Structure 1
């Protein structure tokens, strides 16, 4: 039995052996921890900068009560935690000399951690990204659907796919280089992609789908170039990949939206994706 407190490891198999049951019991709020752990198992650590991950679990009375994860070059991700739990994590990481560029998770947890991190390290937190986690209730595809069809992106369409992912990253302010040389090192390489094609075969929108973990499929990213927006392509391709995930055995589906974008929130609401929680990322000066 583990002693009470935070326990850190760089071994994803060890982490999942201890925390996997806890994470899988509530896959929706734990979606990011599950997704990144699955990526680590599939890839190893090399593509994420060559360093080792930081994976942590909080033990109380022999049970796991919370978890955290961080990959080289990325910020800290948190499962939902109480203010006292975030304070104990911040104190533990600070005592070990860790430096964090950012923290992400549900709004209340990250706000509490940001305050605790500033208290323990003096680092100044700044809210950087506000997202809304949405869970599928009943899938309602757009009617009528736009002209065209959904088509899986093949290897021969890698250049088009990279171009769309680069456009998505620019839209959301993600500081990443996406090209043929770096593709395998980015988070975008771990997904299955579907294009919405016009009747003449032109790709006009794209949706990615992460591997299903604990019965949960996460749609990400969804992107339509500005010249093709306003025609319902994003709704159609999102509905298509969601249906494909459910048909393949997923029992739940989630996605993230920009909390400040009423257009995208209304779009996914119409498809049947209901809000679950607001998520915030804080950067640390």
Structure 2
């Protein structure tokens, strides 16, 4: 990261190939070293998936960041696999695309990685979508239903299907059920990489799709929504993630504060009413 007044947008393929941060200090330390109090903006390099995360960050950059002394360099990723590795390796200062359960799953598989989740910002309700069927009751016996293939999102999808009676889970399934926990199913459950689910829908009777990928593919407008995930008490909000050693850095905390602002709440509600739901923010 550097302190500068210019704002940039960087795609993951070009940005990660071209930029490796030269210093390893916190954003505040690097800003101080480079004269960050002299009027320049402190640039935070933040990884995000395109919708809604990158759009939210771009709104913050355009409307709020400069007044807080920040500029955001938004690095866009099209899958869930790269942003945590890029953050851990110092190529990013933060990322914004994941839930706390997803981060915990990642850290369990990468025990030497020290990343921390700051706070909930928004919730994207999972939906059950279909190109052909217009009602859950109309799903044929043995219907092929796609669901995300990573542990936390698969568990979330299975809970949604169980809540709507498509499947039944074993009594001891726990908070993150897996396919082995399905006690009864009148459908064939097909694990698919989350980002591929919208384009796989044409080959399936239905699919449980993550909110961000559904928005990217415009599924709420172009496909039939058979059911929505409940939002009350939902543990799958999305938030800002940083390296653990930087979790008290004032610039990163400033960014987290901006993400919880009334302006960002209003932007989410205006842009994605009922689909991207602000959380962890005071009502205006």
TM-score by length of 1: 0.28
Higher relative contact order structure (alpha carbons within 8 Å, sequence separation ≥ 6) = 2
